[in-house]
Structure formats: structure tokens, C-alpha cells
């Protein structure tokens, strides 16, 4: 077992040596002149292209760069499987060990199967140097190389797991799928985890790619955040309530610990208690945060509400009163109880410098089932420059909350002889104008004008 | 057969990842899906060419019959080059067609494309308009190629004149890429480009 390996090493050394002499111009100065090899690589494919473009030009020799790449390739092993894949024993088509090698008249070796497939699939030329090949005349079995490969002794890649097979690479290859020691679910593609996986970074990359490297570069802020979270977690986990430590500190004296010594860490009855305390603490932190958020929200809502509630300046109401009468049931019983009880709406101006009005509801003791509605002029700072008596049109509307067509409309035109439209002598003119019998209360209820114990009356006053 | 394609691509992938060019950031390759049939390549624009400083992304599709048939390669990054379609990114390169050889690898293909950027073949064009400009108005070709490299591949040279002409067309409601394409074809003559777009 030992000998064939040393043999092989020798072979390999010789091989490298011969390569050196062969490509002396390229490889001899490889380290110093890596750019020159680079240029060389680049120039060859152009040659290939020009030969194609020109059509009839003589076949050129591109494979120097190709064979160079194969040397690079073979120099460092790919996986455990092909430990010593030697460029001389490599098929350029499948880039694997030569299986039943054949030799072409132009001096290149391929697997028999690979070359046959190539010639059947493609034009009749060598994949390495484009020389014309005839399947009958230019291809010979290379039994010398076949024997060489057969004499190489390789261990099965599963040898660390206990497989004792030592055979030629081809046989090892054939043996692998049935190797009793093969890893059962063979991980076809290994996954590369992020080193931050411990703190819950769920990135997974392919080892052949540089995805991980890129991930580490680009996702740094994410990792910092994860680290902060992890730190907070441990801070919470290691947090210990102050009380517990003092109480056990007192207990430590009884246990015979001296004064100078630090109090031992708090002891809980069992791990479960400790866990509960930690969970509770975390919960408190979460709840406090939520409370703070809710408080801010409430404050914002309050602000909005305050803005919305600000009543419209009556000067700009354009002579319209939208009177939303709440708690109608209570109101009606209050109005019935005393004939002097009445309720006034908010005021309105017909225009910013116009007449000031309000409306009034009451119930006459003689007719307790009927609401009376009157409109009253009010004293205002504009009275001195306005024309008296007031001339205009007053529209009253009892709004039906669901069916607008049922709303009750009434229109009153003023008359100069009515005292209610003369300049008021009191804050609210004692005389009003309207309907003593505006609406029957039971009808209002019946016809559905009252929703949610509210009645809506809209009054529009316009100058004529 | 497909099995062979996959195992070869895996080996080639490792070859590229280990190659000198990747250390020099000159070429790059990465997987697009799990099946190893679609890859994404990246080549750096070669020095002393209008493409210098740009990074060009390539779409590489590996057929089931690989390596007996060539991979299908196309530029995703838009590029102004006689042998590459300025619209579709299709490449005219013989080794990707009739002169493919089974011994070629992803690495050699990427290097060949890099070489193609350095040495265009205007007599065997993919994009006739570009090839004509290359032969007839080489200075304009250089300017256009540098401008495209700047616009699409992150190249260093900016041409405010080109940008302002494109902006003029964009103000008329033309898509930026269409505007650049038409202006490039019309040798940056704004009037002709407008005529071409609106007639």
C-alpha cells in the first residue's frame, strides 16, 4: 500500500518537472509575470475567433492556455474524491479520470465514451486543437495509459469511515455508489452558515461561491442589530432582582459566611422560579413600552378631538343654524313640566356684519303634545348700521336622519308689520316668529325623526 | 448526459473560483439556481479600451448536452460593441457557435469575451449600426462606448453633453434607454434622433 503511493508521488514530481520544461517560457516566470500569462490566455480565444471568421485559415493552437488551466486545476485537489487527479490522466471533456483512454493522431487523450460522443455530436475535429479527426483512422485505444491508471492505488474516500478498499481511481469511482460506508444521506450541496447564526442570522450560502463573504460585508448593520438584541437578551437573562440578593445576603450570615465576603448569588427554590421571574421581567418591559406607545396615541387623539370640537364662529355661519338637539326625551319632559322652560339654539349671523339670530323651542301648557319653534332676532354690534325691519326668507327644516325625502320643510317670508323683525331692544328679542304648533311630538317619534334620542333642526335665514 | 453537464459545471465552477483572474477581480461567476444550469458571469472591462472600469454581467445557460454543445451566453449589462447586440445583448463569437470545443470551459469563455471587448471584429458584426460607426466614425464610437459603460456598467467617464441630449428627449416623453439607443445610432445628432423617434 505504501509503495504505489510513493511511486505516484515520484510520477507527479516528474510530471511537474516535464511541464516546467515544456512551458518554460510561460511557467518559468509565472509569479513575476502573472499578467503576461493573463494576456496570453486572452489572446488565444481571439485567434480561435479569427480562424472561424476567416474560414480557411490554418488551424491554430489555442490549447496552450487550456492545458495551462488544466494544470492549475489539477495542482490543487477539488474534493476528497479525486485526491491526485493528474493532468496527464485527465479527460479534457469530462475533466475527470480517463476512462478507457483513447489517443488521437494529434496526440491528445480522452475517455473513449467522451470522444465518441463529441465526434457524433459535433464536427469531426479534436476538442483541443481543432485538427480533423476521422473516427476510423485517427483514434487508437491507449492501453499504456489505461494500465498506468489501473496501477494507481487509491483509497476509497470513505476510508475514514472504515472502508478498506484500495483500487485504481476508475474502480474507486465505480465502487462509490455501492460503498457500504458511504454517508447515507449524502449532502449533495453543503451549506455554509453565517458565523452569526448563533445570534439568529438565518443566512445560508453555498461554499463554492463568495455569497457568504458578500453577506458579511453587506449585512453588517443587520448583524450589529442582532448583536444588540443578543446583548439585551443576556442582560435580561442575567438580571437579578435586588430584593432577592439582600434577603439571601442576610441568610448567608446564618450559613456561616463572613462579613467581608460578597453575598452569594440569589438562590431560587428552583430553576423554574428563576425562569418565571425572567419571563415576567421581559413581559414588564414589553408592557411598559406598549403603555408608552398607547399614551402617545391617546394624546394625539385628544389633540385631534380638541381641534374638531372647536365650534364654528357664528359670524361665519351664513345665516344657518344646524341645531342638534340631544336628550330629546328629557328635554320634552322638562319643557312640559313648566311653561316658562324653553331652550335656545346657538346664535348665527346672516353674514359677518349682518343680523344675529337664534331659535327657541318650547311647549305650550295648553298643547302638551306639540313643539313650538320660533326664530328670534338678537342684539348685535351691527344693529346700528343695518336696515330695519329685517326683510328676508326663513327656511325651517326638520331633518329625517335616514330618509331625506321625509324631512319636513317650511318657509316663512318676513313682513314689515311683524314686530319680531324690528330692531331688538333686549339681548334676545322678546318677540319671536315661527310656529306655535311646529310638530306633534308623538308623530316625530313615530316617523323616525328621532334617532339616538336626537333631533336635528336646520334653519336658514337669507336676506331678500 | 445531463449528469455529465452538471458534474463538469461543478468542477469548472471550482476552477474559476480558484483562478488568478478572480483574485484580480477580472472575472467572476455565481449560481442563479440550484440546478447548475443557469449561471451569472461578470467580466471587468479590459484596460485601454472604452470599457475600462466597467463591470459587465452575463447570463450563462448551460445546455443538457454540455460540454458537447456550447453554453448560451448573453450580455445582461447593455454594451456598445460591434459584435454584441446593443438591444438584446446577443453575442457574435465563433467559439459560442460553430467553433466550440469540448475542452473549453466557463473560464476560457469568460476570458474570450473579455478579449472580444479588447479586440472587436467589425467585419463580422452582430450589431451593424455599431460596426458601421466603429469603422466610419471611430472617435464617436469610442465616446458612445465610454458613455454606455458609464451609464450601464459603472464606468468612470461621464459626458454631460450626451446626458443633456438624452434629457432633452426624455423631456419629450421618450424612455431613457430608447433615447440613448437612438442618439447613439444617429451619432448623437439630436435633430436626426428626434426625427427618427417621431416620424
Q: Choose, from B25, B92, B162, B196, the residue flagged as catalytic.
A: B92
Task: Catalogue the E-assigned strands of A183-287.
Answer: 192-193, 204-205
The verdict on a CB contact (< 8 Å) between A69 and B19 is yes
Is the ipTM of this structure higher than 0.85? no
Its sign, for the CA torsion B136, B142, B144, B148, is: positive
Please state the rounded mean pLDDT for residues A47-70. 38
- Nearest by CB to residue A34, choosing from B4, B20, B93, is B20
The verdict on a CB contact (< 8 Å) between A48 and B94 is yes
H helix intervals, A108-184: 112-121, 143-151, 169-175
- Classify A95 as helix, strand or coil: coil
The fraction of chain A above a pLDDT of 70, given in percent, is: 72
Condensed to tens digits (0 to 9), the pLDDT of residues A135-149 reads 788 888 888 888 888
Lowest mean pLDDT among A99-108, A201-210, A251-260, A401-410: A251-260
The fraction of chain B above a pLDDT of 90, given in percent, is: 39
Are residues B186 and B112 part of one domain?
no
Contacts of B115 in chain A (CB under 8 A): 42-43, 45-46
- Nearest by CB to residue A92, choosing from B21, B102, B114, is B102
Are residues B132 and B112 part of one domain?
no
B196 at the A interface (CB within 8 A)?
Answer: no
The fraction of chain A above a pLDDT of 90, given in percent, is: 13
Distance CA A121, CA A114 (A): 10
Are residues B135 and B112 part of one domain?
no
Is the model's pLDDT at A189 over the cut of 80? no
Residue A154 is predicted with a pLDDT of 81
Q: Chain-wide mean pLDDT for chain B?
A: 88
Residue A315 is predicted with a pLDDT of 86
Condensed to tens digits (0 to 9), the pLDDT of residues A276-333 reads 888 899 999 999 999 999 999 999 999 988 887 777 788 888 889 999 888 888 888 8
Q: Cell numbers of A114, please? A: 467522451
Residue-number span of the structural domain to which B109 is assigned: 1-116
Total structural domains within chain B: 2
Residue A270 is predicted with a pLDDT of 62
More reliable by pLDDT, A319 or A19: A319
Residue B160 lies in a domain: yes
Q: Is there a catalytic annotation at residue B92?
A: yes
Nearest chain A residue (CA) to B92: A49
Query: A314-463 — its CATH code?
Result: 2.60.210.10
Are residues B149 and B69 part of one domain?
no
Residue B75 is predicted with a pLDDT of 94
Residue A133 is predicted with a pLDDT of 82
Residue B121 lies in a domain: no
Lowest mean pLDDT among A37-46, A169-178, A226-235, A389-398: A37-46
Is the model's pLDDT at A85 over the cut of 90? no
Residue B116 is predicted with a pLDDT of 92
Are residues B178 and B146 part of one domain?
yes
Q: What is the pTM of this model?
A: 0.47
Query: A90-178 — its CATH code?
Result: 3.30.40.10
Is the model's pLDDT at A269 over the cut of 70? no
For residue B106, what is the domain's CATH number? 3.10.110.10
Question: What is the DSSP annotation of A318-375?
Answer: TTEEEEEE--HHHHHHHHHH-TT--EE---EESSTTS-EEEEEEE--TT-TTEEEEEE
What is chain A's percent helix, strand, coil content, to nearest 5? 45, 20, 40
Is the model's pLDDT at A58 over the cut of 60? no
More reliable by pLDDT, B184 or A127: B184
Are residues B109 and B29 part of one domain?
yes
Distance CA B71, CA B95 (A): 10
Residue B54 is predicted with a pLDDT of 92
The contact set of A with B (CB < 8 A) is: 34, 37-38, 41-43, 45-46, 48-53, 63, 65-66, 69, 72-73, 76, 78, 92-96, 114, 117-118, 121-123, 125-128, 130, 189, 206, 208-211
Are residues B44 and B65 part of one domain?
yes
Is the model's pLDDT at A420 over the cut of 60? yes
Amino acid at each position: 500500500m505504501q509503495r504505489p503511493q510513493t511511486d505516484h508521488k515520484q510520477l507527479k514530481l516528474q510530471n511537474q518537472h516535464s511541464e516546467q520544461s515544456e512551458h518554460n517560457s510561460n511557467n518559468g516566470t509565472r509569479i513575476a509575470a502573472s499578467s503576461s500569462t493573463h494576456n496570453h490566455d486572452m489572446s488565444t480565444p481571439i485567434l480561435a475567433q479569427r480562424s472561424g471568421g476567416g474560414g480557411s485559415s490554418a488551424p491554430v493552437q489555442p490549447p496552450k492556455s487550456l492545458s495551462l488551466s488544466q494544470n492549475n486545476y489539477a495542482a490543487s485537489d477539488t474534493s476528497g474524491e479525486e485526491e491526485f487527479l493528474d493532468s496527464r490522466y485527465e479527460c479534457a471533456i469530462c475533466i475527470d479520470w480517463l476512462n478507457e483512454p483513447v489517443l488521437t493522431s494529434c496526440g491528445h487523450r480522452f475517455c473513449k465514451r467522451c470522444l465518441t460522443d463529441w465526434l457524433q455530436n459535433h464536427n469531426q475535429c479534436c476538442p483541443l486543437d481543432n485538427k480533423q479527426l476521422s473516427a476510423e483512422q485517427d483514434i487508437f485505444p491507449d492501453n499504456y495509459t489505461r494500465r498506468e491508471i489501473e496501477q494507481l492505488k487509491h483509497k476509497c474516500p470513505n476510508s475514514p469511515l472504515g472502508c478498506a478498499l484500495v483500487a485504481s481511481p476508475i474502480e474507486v469511482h465505480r465502487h462509490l455508489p455501492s460503498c457500504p460506508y458511504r454517508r447515507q444521506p449524502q449532502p449533495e450541496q453543503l451549506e455554509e452558515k453565517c458565523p452569526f447564526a448563533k445570534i439568529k442570522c438565518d443566512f445560508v450560502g453555498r461554499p463554492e461561491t463568495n455569497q457568504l463573504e458578500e453577506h458579511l460585508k453587506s449585512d453588517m448593520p443587520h448583524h450589529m442589530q442582532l448583536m444588540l438584541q443578543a446583548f439585551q437578551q443576556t442582560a435580561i437573562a442575567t438580571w437579578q432582582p435586588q430584593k432577592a440578593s439582600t434577603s439571601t445576603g442576610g441568610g448567608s450570615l446564618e450559613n456561616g459566611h463572613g462579613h467581608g465576603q460578597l453575598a452569594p448569588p440569589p438562590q431560587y427554590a428552583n430553576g423554574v422560579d428563576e425562569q418565571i421571574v425572567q419571563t415576567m421581567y421581559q413581559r414588564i418591559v414589553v408592557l411598559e413600552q406598549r403603555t408608552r406607545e398607547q399614551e402617545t396615541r391617546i394624546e394625539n387623539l385628544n389633540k385631534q378631538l380638541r381641534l374638531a370640537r372647536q365650534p364654528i364662529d357664528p359670524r361665519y355661519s351664513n345665516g344657518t343654524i344646524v341645531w342638534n338637539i340631544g336628550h330629546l326625551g328629557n328635554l320634552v319632559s322638562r319643557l312640559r313640566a313648566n311653561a316658562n322652560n324653553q331652550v335656545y339654539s346657538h346664535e348665527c349671523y346672516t353674514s359677518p356684519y349682518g343680523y344675529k339670530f337664534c331659535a327657541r323651542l318650547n311647549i305650550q301648557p295648553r298643547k302638551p303634545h306639540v313643539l313650538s319653534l320660533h326664530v328670534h332676532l338678537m342684539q348685535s354690534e351691527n344693529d346700528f348700521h343695518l336696515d330695519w325691519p329685517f326683510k328676508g326668507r326663513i327656511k325651517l327644516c326638520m331633518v329625517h336622519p335616514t330618509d331625506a325625502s321625509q324631512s319636513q320643510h317650511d318657509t316663512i317670508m318676513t313682513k314689515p308689520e311683524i314686530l319680531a323683525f324690528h330692531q331688538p331692544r333686549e339681548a334676545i328679542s322678546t318677540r319671536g316668529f315661527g310656529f306655535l304648533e311646529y310638530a306633534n311630538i308623538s308623530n316625530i317619534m313615530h316617523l323616525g325623526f328621532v334617532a339616538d334620542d336626537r333631533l336635528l333642526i336646520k334653519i336658514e335665514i337669507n336676506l331678500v | 448526459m445531463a449528469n455529465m453537464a452538471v458534474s463538469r459545471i461543478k468542477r469548472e465552477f471550482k476552477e474559476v473560483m480558484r483562478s488568478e483572474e478572480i483574485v484580480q477581480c477580472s472575472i467572476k461567476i455565481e449560481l442563479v439556481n440550484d440546478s447548475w444550469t443557469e449561471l451569472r458571469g461578470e467580466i471587468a472591462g479590459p484596460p485601454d479600451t472604452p470599457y475600462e472600469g466597467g463591470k459587465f454581467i452575463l447570463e450563462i445557460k448551460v445546455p443538457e448536452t454540455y460540454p458537447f454543445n456550447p453554453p448560451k451566453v448573453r450580455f445582461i449589462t447593455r454594451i456598445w460593441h460591434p459584435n454584441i447586440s446593443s438591444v438584446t445583448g446577443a453575442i457574435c463569437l465563433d467559439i459560442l457557435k460553430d467553433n466550440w470545443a469540448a475542452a473549453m470551459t466557463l473560464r476560457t469563455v469568460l476570458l474570450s469575451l473579455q478579449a472580444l471587448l479588447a479586440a472587436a471584429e467589425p467585419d463580422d458584426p452582430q450589431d451593424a449600426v455599431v460596426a458601421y460607426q466603429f469603422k466610419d466614425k471611430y472617435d464617436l464610437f469610442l465616446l458612445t462606448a465610454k458613455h454606455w459603460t458609464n451609464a450601464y456598467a459603472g464606468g468612470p467617464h461621464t459626458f454631460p453633453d450626451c446626458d443633456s441630449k438624452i434629457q432633452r428627449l426624455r423631456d419629450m416623453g421618450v424612455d431613457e434607454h430608447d433615447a440613448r439607443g437612438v442618439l447613439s445610432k444617429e451619432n448623437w445628432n439630436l435633430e436626426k434622433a428626434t426625427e427618427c423617434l417621431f416620424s
